[in-house]
Amino acid sequence: MKKLILFSLLTFMLSCEGTKEVSETEQVAKVDFYSHHSESIKQVFDAHGGFDAWTKLKQMSYTNGSSKTLVDLQNRYTRIESEQQTVGFDGKQVWVYPASENADRQRMRYNLMFYFYAFPFVVGDPGIIYEDLEPLEIKGKMYNALKISYNDGVGDSPKDNYIIYTDQETHQMEWLMYTATFGGGETSERYNLIKYDDWNSYEGVILPGSLQWYQYKDGVVGEARGGARTFTDIKVSTDFPAMENFIVPEGASIAADPTE
């Protein structure tokens, strides 16, 4: 799920501190980075605080169930702590500590919840294609629909597809449909469905407090699938987290990269 896209020029530009004046070169680089954004996705970003506000953030943390997650938003370094184990990503390797025979499974799953949680902003990177679809009625309400797909070779799962459903007046995201190939070679038409709720502002960025999965088949929305995933202790910051959080600890297992 994770789209491992590292753009050193953008990272440098966003992390630099100093005068308020921005050089012409930096302005051009910023415009180029955003140039693939469609008008529809811009409306969605703006309804959630704006993509500029998101790119200024350096870290995010939250508690989900029994695990605590910390993410370096500029590089997507990740650390997820639970009672049983700690899973991390240092920019190159996914690791599991204490060592585990099932470490390879974490390569495709370690950042799954973050990716869903950070919608719509995670689909702002280059290499992403936006396509307006016909509005769709979900549980008695009409929504605008925006399909998200990826250019070949982008991330671990370029065959994944998403459809964002937004309020037709406010453009705020309420539902997400997605396919999951987990690195497979073929696209899928079997969609899953998530309802986003309990939105709140954090440093100007609007983030959800809960995600509820629903049964969905042949265009019909069924009952809720289990309880909602709730997110608490949500924090974002314009300061980078300490790199020591993400360094592979001695004795950890390294997950195999499915793309190699």
Name the CATH topology of 50-254.
Answer: outer membrane lipoprotein receptor (LolB), chain A (2.50.20)
| Predicted confidence band of residue 134 (pLDDT cuts 50, 70, 90) | very high
Averaged over 207-226, what is the pLDDT?
94
* Whole-number pLDDT of residue 36: 87
Are 1 and 111 a contacting pair, CB within 8 Å?
Answer: yes
Spans of all domains in the chain:
50-254
Tokens of residue 131, six digits: 């396509």
**Amino acid at residue number 36:** H
* Whole-number pLDDT of residue 126: 84
* Whole-number pLDDT of residue 4: 39
* Whole-number pLDDT of residue 29: 44
Separation between Cα atoms, residue 194 and residue 202, nearest integer Å = 22
Are 240 and 90 a contacting pair, CB within 8 Å?
Answer: no
Question: Pick the residue with more confidence: 217 or 28?
Answer: 217
* CA angle (163, 169, 172) in 5-degree steps: 45
Tokens of residue 23, six digits: 């050089």
Question: Does residue 151 have a pLDDT over 90?
Answer: no
Question: Pick the residue with more confidence: 23 or 197?
Answer: 197
Question: Does residue 90 have a pLDDT over 90?
Answer: yes
Question: Pick the residue with more confidence: 33 or 103?
Answer: 103
Question: Does residue 6 have a pLDDT over 50?
Answer: no
Among 203, 196, 170, residue whose Cα is nearest residue 118: 196
Q: What is the 3-state secondary structure (H, E, C) of 117-185?
A: HCCCHHHCCCCEEEEEEEEEEECCEEEEEEEEEECCCCCCCCCCCEEEEEECCCCCEEEEEECCCCCCC
* Whole-number pLDDT of residue 227: 95
